[in-house]
Structure 1
Amino acid sequence: MLRTFVGLHLRDLGGWIRVAALLDLLATAGVSNSSTRSAVSRLKGKGLLIPDKREAVAGYRLDSAAVSGLERGDRRIFTYRGQRDDEPWCLVSYSLPEVDRSKRVQLRRTLMGLGFGAVTDGLWIAPGHLRAEVEDALVGLDVRDRATIFITQTPLTAEPFAQAAAKWWQLDTLAARHTEFLRRYEHAAPLSENSAPLPENSAPKSSLEPREAFVLWLHCVDEWKAIPYVDPGLPPSALPSDWPGMRSVELFAQLRRTQAEPARAHVREISSAES
């Protein structure tokens, strides 16, 4: 929850927040002061937060080195990219010997975290728009010379492609995550199949007070943020007809339109208040 708060709000505050304000805001969201302090200690150890006293006021500063990572997370979390049926796929083939087992395990975890599906032990697949991300990951793990990337059209499988995709990505498990997100938050922004889309520049207002919007939005993003990393945005041909993913994507976008700005306003108000 603290990491989610940092990603959502600390840059908007200029990268610094009073300790008292941080404790107050997280307590509003149901996080005890002791839990927040423990979480702060962990994030300090990871280089995300730095103690920074300003005019005798204790606070925390966002490490500038962490900004690029937060920006990458923003792109994945807030910009859902669905693949069309006529777009290419990205396949990654690699071979690492037993002596590099730890690196092999790390590579598998990284590929899963990027949204790749496992075709076989050493062959992974994802929508083509993830090519740049996997290139960066392979270089970062120092295994680029052990891997080959193929950009190809839809693979020809012995069974219907959707059946193969269901195994490669464990779509039943992923669908359950989307369904749970809908169950938790659909009441806050009901979706209607007959409702007209909002104009691009519209700014619908939240029915909640800023404090309530802050709590809802923080919990919403905290639960949502992992989903885009395991759901790479598969095309319709790879998904079952009753796929709940697009409904939850639309719900998250609607909650962002209505709750993000009042949530930011509440954070600014509490952060700027006298200690």
Structure 2
Amino acid sequence: MTATTDTPDAADMADAPQPRPQSLVLAFFGNHVLDEGDLCVYSGSIIDVLARVGTGEQAVRSTLTRMVNRGLLRRQREGRKMFFGLTAQAVRILEDGGQRIWRDGAVNEDWDGTWTLLGFSLPESWQRQRHDLRSRLTWSGFGALYSGLWIAPGHADVRGAISELGLDAHVKVFHARADAFTDVGLMIRESWDLESIAARYVAFDKRWAAVSPPADPVATRLRLVAEWLRIIRTDPRLPVQHLPPEWPARQAQETFRRIAMETAGSAARMAAQLLETVPLRSA
């Protein structure tokens, strides 16, 4: 099967940033496998679907191998065919992403005034650990108040992420409220790049607002979810009362949810025809 490049939605998305293959694979499993029970998908089916959004076969195969090595996917051979299923770690990641996408949303209107403060001190030689920790903190909504002191709105639970990284002994977490002396709006502007966050929402809405019912709902939904997840991964869900007026996340979210709803049924029906699956065997 070849990539679908002549559909109206593909032309509309020509200027969109291309998600990393791993992001697309995770979006694929989140869209079509996570809620279907314990299933494995034939590698050829994954290759065919990702080809629809411009990802080549070799890139998909190497990504699947890396994800197996990282403990995100399981291989399962059935005769001459190789199938891939989700590990418990990948299920947790996808369920967390689903919480952010479908339930929490991009607009924080119910902030209770509390902050999570996280301090860490790592040996200078731990560059990889420092990078991994900062990535997890960014995903969890933290911004750098100072180099070793990060802050997030509300009660951010990062215990699991810290433990997975093996950094429990190097991290301290507190929950607190800002004193009246603190200018919360200024603190937010200093700790997060609001202009960049807003620009990503504006660009997303501009690309997707005029998209009509697509000829290829599987490709459209895959691209939609992967791009939206990329944006909200870098959005700390700051309290809306401390953000600039007309914060663009609200309009972008309405556009995302409209297209997600319009493509849900047709994408599911198309996927049922395209994907070859088998039950996932016990480990």
TM range (shorter): 0.7 to 0.9
Which residue is equivalent to 1:227? 231
The match for 1:259 among 258, 263, 266 is 263
Matched, 1:119 2:123: no
Report the RMSD for the aligned CA atoms in angstroms.
2.7
Q: C-alpha separation between the residues in 1 aligned to 2:43 and 2:132?
A: 35
Q: 1:38 aligns with which of 52, 62, 65?
A: 62
Selected match of 1:215 from 191, 212, 219: 219
Contact 2:111 2:153 in 1 (8 A): no
Secondary structure of residue in 1 paired with 2:77: coil
User: Is 1:188 aligned to residue 239 of structure 2?
Assistant: no
SS in 2 for 1:243: coil
Moved over 6 A (4+): none
Query: Which residue in 2 is equivalent to 1:89?
Result: 115
Instruction: Indicate which of 24, 36, 39 corresponds to 1:15.
Output: 39
- With over 3 angstroms needed to count, the CA separation of the structure-2 counterparts of 1:42 and 1:108, relative to structure 1, is closer
C-alpha contact (below 8 Å) 2:144/2:191 kept by paired residues: yes
Q: What secondary structure sits across from 1:52 in the alignment?
A: strand
Which residue of structure 2 lines up, in the alignment, with residue 203 of structure 1? none
- The aligned runs of 1:61-140 (5 Å cut-off) are 61-65=84-88, 66-81=90-105, 82-98=108-124, 102-130=128-156, 132=157, 134-140=158-164
Out of 39, 48, 51, the residue aligned to residue 27 of structure 1 is 51
Q: Distance in 1 between matches of 2:29 and 2:249?
A: 27
Contact persistence 1:51–1:58 (CA under 8 A): no
Aligned length: 250
TM-aligned CA deviation for residue 245 of structure 1: 1.3
Work out the percentage of aligned pairs sharing the same amino acid.
29
Amino acid at match of 2:162: L
Secondary structure of the 2:104 match is coil
Return the alpha-carbon distance in structure 2 between the equivalents of residues 25 and 19 of structure 1.
10
Hey, what's the Cα distance between the residues in 2 that align with 1:228 and 1:40?
24
Q: Is the 8 Å Cα contact of residues 74 and 87 (structure 2) preserved in structure 1?
A: no
Deviation at 1:172, TM superposition (A): 0.9
Change (3 A) 1:236 1:87: same
Who is 1:59 aligned against?
82
CA distance in 2, matches of 1:40, 1:97: 33
Q: Please state whether the residue corresponding to 1:233 is helix, strand or coil.
A: coil
Deviation at 1:85, TM superposition (A): 4.8
Give the direction of change, closer, same or farther, for the CA distance of 1:27–1:103 in structure 2 (3 Å limit): closer
Larger displacement relative to structure 2 (7-16 or 257-266)? 7-16
TM-score after normalising by structure 1? 0.78
Q: Report how far residue 76 of structure 1 moved.
A: 2.5
Amino acid at match of 1:53: R
Within a 5 Å distance, the mapping from 1:156-195 to structure 2 comes to 156=180, 160-188=183-211
Q: Give the unaligned 5+ runs of structure 2.
A: 1-23, 278-283
Task: Decide whether the 8 Å contact of 1:90 with 1:126 is kept in 2.
Answer: yes
